[in-house]
C-alpha cells in the first residue's frame, strides 16, 4: 500500500518579516514570566501553562513506535507538575499509555498523583507517519486551536520543544505563546561550522580544521591545507553541518600520505576519500558527497592520544541572559568510527570535569551574547599530554535538548538534588553524592516479547525499581519501542560510580534472562 500524501501546512498569513517581528514580541513575554516562576517557594509561585512538543523537526530516520519513544523521552518534564499551580499540555504523535503515565507520576516525590493528573493533558493527532510532530500540528490548525483553548492565560504560558527550527517558531505564533529556545536564526550556531566559529570567538581550544565546506573539492583542499600546516595529522573527521548522534560523520586515514606538494599526493588522497569509514551504515561516497553539497560541513583533525575520552557539558541560558552549568557527562560511544552516541555516565571524570566546565562556560557566555536561549550542550574530547595533564578540545555545540538532557533531569526529578560544577559532583538534599549510567540503546530482538507493563514487572520482581527511600535503582524509558523494535532505555542511579555501573549491568542481564525464558518453547496446555 502506498503511503498517503501528507497534509499541507496551513500558512500563517504573514510575510517572513512580519513573522519575525511577531515572534520577537512573543519572546519578550518570557522575561516577566520567568521572573515570576523561577526561584520562588512553591506556595508563592504564580499560575503557568507549559506546552511540550517534543518534535525532532530535523532529519531523523524513525517512525511509529521509535518516534513515539523519542517523544516520550521528554516525560521527565512532568517534574514541573510538582509546582502546584502549573498546568501541562504534552503533545505526542499517539496517546501515551496510561500505565506509562502512572509509572512516571508514581516516582514523583511530594506530589499527589490525582492532583497532578488534573493539571495534565495529553494531545495527540494519532499520526504514526515519519514526519516531525511540529509539522503534524501545523497541518492541523484545529488541533492548535484546541491547545490554545486549554491555556487559561497565554501571558502565563510558554512552549518547550526538542529543537527550534522555523516550524517551531511558526507553532509558537499559531499558539500565541513564547518559545523557550533559541531564535531559529541562530540554528546555524548548532551546526558544525557555526560551532567552530563560536569556539574561535570564545577563545576555546578546538581541533585544527576548516569549516563552511560545500563540496568534496572543498574537502580535498581543506585536507591538503591542514596537512601543510600540521604534517603529523594521522586522521581527519569530515562532518556534515547538521548531522546528529555522529551519523553525519566519516573518518579519513591520512597515515602514509606524501606531502601535498608530491605529484602522487592527489591520487593517493582520492583513494583515501573513496575508502572513508562512515558512521552510518546506509551512507556511501555519493550520498555523503550530496550531504556536503546540501548542508555543508567541516574537516577537522581527529584528536588522538592517551586516555582518550569524549565528555559533554550541559548548560542553559535563561530568558534573563544568565548562563548556568547544569551537568558534565562522559559519553558512551560506539559505531564503526566510535562516533555514535549510545549513552552517558554522570558526572564526568573529576580529573577533567572542572576543566571542561570552565571551557564550556566561556562558550556559553559567547552564545548568550549572540542571543541563545534555553538548554544546550557542548561536546569535548580530552586526552592526556606528555606532562600527564588533561587537554580538552571543543568539538560540537548541540543547540537543543539532547541525549544527556533527559537522564540528568530524571536524576533531578527523582532526588531533588543539585549539580556543583566547581567540584563536578551532584548531591541530594541529604548530602549524598549521586551517579548514574544511562542509555537509550539497550536492544535485542528477544526483547520484542515484552510490553511496557512487562518491563515494569521485571524491575519490581528483581528489586531494581527506583526506591525513593534509598534513592537508588533503575528508571526505564523509551518503552514504546520494546514490543516493536526490541529496544528500551534506562537510567541506573547509584550512590557511587560502581553501584550505578552494577545496576546498569544487572538490568541488562535480568532482561536478557527473562527474554530467553519467555521465548523458549512452552508445552501446550493440557499436554
Task: Specify the pLDDT at position 350.
Answer: 93
Would you call 61 exposed, middle or buried from its count of C-beta atoms within 10 A (0-12, 13-18, 19+)? Answer: exposed
Torsional sign, CA 236, 240, 241, 245: negative
Q: List, in sequence order, every residue forming a beta bridge with 94; answer none if it has no partner.
A: none
- pLDDT value of residue 66: 85
Q: Contact 55/134 with Cβ under 8 angstroms?
A: yes
Distance CA 501, CA 496 (A): 9
Q: Where are the domains of the chain?
A: 16-180, 194-205+305-424, 208-301, 434-519
Render each residue's pLDDT in the chain as its tens digit; 527 residues: 345 566 777 788 889 999 999 999 999 999 999 988 775 455 566 889 999 999 876 655 666 788 888 899 899 899 889 889 999 999 999 999 999 999 999 888 778 899 999 999 999 999 988 888 999 999 999 999 999 999 999 999 999 999 899 999 999 999 999 999 999 999 899 999 999 999 999 999 999 999 999 999 999 999 999 999 999 999 999 999 987 655 689 999 999 999 999 999 999 999 999 999 998 888 899 999 999 999 999 999 999 989 999 999 999 999 999 999 999 999 988 766 666 778 899 999 999 999 999 999 999 999 999 999 999 999 999 999 989 999 999 999 999 888 888 899 889 888 889 999 988 999 999 999 999 999 998 999 999 999 999 999 999 999 999 988 889 999 999 999 998 899 999 999 999 999 999 999 999 999 999 999 988 867 788 75
Fold of 194-205+305-424: D-amino Acid Aminotransferase; Chain A, domain 1 (3.30.470)
Name, in order, each residue with C-beta under 8 angstroms of 60's C-beta and a sequence gap of 6 or more: 70, 132, 244
Total-model pTM: 0.90
Four-way CATH pick for 16-180: 1.10.287, 3.40.50, 1.10.3470, 3.30.1490: 3.40.50
Read off the DSSP letter of residue 524.
P
- Between the CA atoms of 443, 449, 451 and 455, what dihedral angle is there, to the nearest 10 degrees? -60
- 217 near 255, Cβ under 8 Å? no
**Distance, CA of 518 to CA of 466 (rounded, Å):** 24
Whole-Å CA distances, 195 to 112, 168, 190, 252, 441: 44, 21, 6, 21, 27
Assigned fold of 434-519: Alpha-Beta Plaits (3.30.70)
Tell me how crowded residue 396 is: count the other CB atoms within 10 A of its CB. 21
Amino acid at each position: 500500500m502506498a503511503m498517503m500524501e501528507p497534509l499541507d501546512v496551513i500558512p500563517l498569513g504573514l510575510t517572513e518579516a512580519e513573522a519575525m517581528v511577531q515572534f520577537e514580541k512573543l519572546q519578550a513575554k518570557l522575561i516577566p514570566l520567568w521572573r515570576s516562576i523561577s526561584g520562588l517557594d512553591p506556595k508563592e509561585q504564580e499560575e503557568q501553562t507549559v506546552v511540550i512538543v517534543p518534535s525532532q523537526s530535523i532529519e531523523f530516520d524513525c517512525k511509529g513506535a521509535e518516534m513515539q519513544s523519542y517523544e516520550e523521552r521528554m516525560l521527565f518534564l512532568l517534574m514541573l507538575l510538582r509546582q502546584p499551580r502549573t498546568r501541562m499540555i504534552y503533545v505526542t504523535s499517539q496517546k501515551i499509555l496510561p500505565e506509562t503515565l502512572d509509572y512516571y507520576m508514581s516516582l514523583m516525590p511530594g506530589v499527589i498523583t490525582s492532583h497532578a493528573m488534573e493539571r495534565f493533558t495529553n494531545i495527540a493527532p494519532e499520526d504514526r507517519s515519519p514526519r516531525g510532530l511540529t509539522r503534524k500540528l501545523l497541518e492541523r490548525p484545529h488541533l492548535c486551536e484546541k491547545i490554545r483553548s486549554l491555556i487559561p492565560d497565554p501571558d502565563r504560558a510558554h512552549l518547550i520543544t526538542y529543537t527550534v527550527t522555523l516550524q517551531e517558531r511558526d507553532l509558537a505564533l499559531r499558539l500565541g505563546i513564547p518559545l523557550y529556545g533559541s531564535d531559529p536564526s541562530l540554528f546555524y550556531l548548532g551546526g558544525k561550522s557555526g560551532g567552530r566559529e563560536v569556539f574561535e570567538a570564545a577563545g576555546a581550544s578546538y581541533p585544527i580544521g576548516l569549516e563552511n565546506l560545500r563540496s568534496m573539492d572543498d574537502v580535498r583542499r581543506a585536507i591538503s591545507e591542514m596537512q601543510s600546516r600540521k604534517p603529523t595529522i594521522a586522521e581527519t573527521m569530515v562532518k556534515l553541518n547538521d548531522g546528529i548522534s555522529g551519523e553525519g560523520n566519516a573518518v579519513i586515514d591520512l597515515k602514509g600520505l606524501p606531502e601535498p606538494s608530491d605529484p602522487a599526493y592527489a591520487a593517493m588522497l582520492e583513494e583515501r576519500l573513496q575508502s572513508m569509514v562512515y558512521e552510518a551504515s546506509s551512507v556511501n561516497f555519493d550520498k555523503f558527497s550530496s550531504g556536503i553539497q546540501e548542508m555543508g560541513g567541516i574537516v577537522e583533525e581527529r584528536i588522538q592520544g592517551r586516555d582518550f575520552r569524549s565528555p559533554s557539558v550541559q548548560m542553559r541560558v535563561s530568558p534573563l541572559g544568565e548562563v548556568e552549568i547544569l551537568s558534565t557527562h562522559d559519553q558512551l560511544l560506539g559505531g564503526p568510527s566510535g562516533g555514535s552516541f549510545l549513552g552517558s555516565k554522570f558526572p564526568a571524570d573529576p580529573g577533567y570535569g572542572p576543566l571542561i566546565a570552565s571551557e564550556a562556560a566561556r562558550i556559553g557566555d559567547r552564545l548568550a551574547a549572540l542571543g541563545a536561549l534555553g538548554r544546550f550542550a557542548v561536546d569535548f574530547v580530552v586526552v592526556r599530554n606528555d606532562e600527564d595533564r588533561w587537554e580538552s578540545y571543543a568539538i560540537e555545540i548541540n543547540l537543543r535538548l539532547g541525549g544527556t538532557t533527559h537522564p540528568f533531569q530524571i536524576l533531578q526529578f527523582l532526588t531533588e538534588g543539585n549539580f556543583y560544577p566547581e567540584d563536578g559532583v551532584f548531591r541530594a538534599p541529604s548530602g549524598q553524592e549521586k551517579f548514574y549510567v544511562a542509555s537509550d540503546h539497550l536492544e535485542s530482538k528477544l526483547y520484542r516479547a515484552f510490553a511496557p507493563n512487562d518491563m515494569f514487572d521485571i524491575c519490581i520482581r528483581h528489586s531494581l525499581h527506583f526506591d525513593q527511600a534509598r534513592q537508588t535503582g533503575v528508571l526505564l524509558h523509551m518503552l514504546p519501542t520494546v514490543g516493536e523494535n526490541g529496544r528500551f532505555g534506562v537510567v541506573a542511579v547509584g550512590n557511587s560510580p560502581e553501584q550505578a555501573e552494577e545496576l546498569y549491568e544487572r538490568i541488562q542481564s535480568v532482561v536478557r534472562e527473562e527474554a530467553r525464558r519467555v521465548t523458549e518453547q512452552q508445552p501446550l496446555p493440557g499436554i
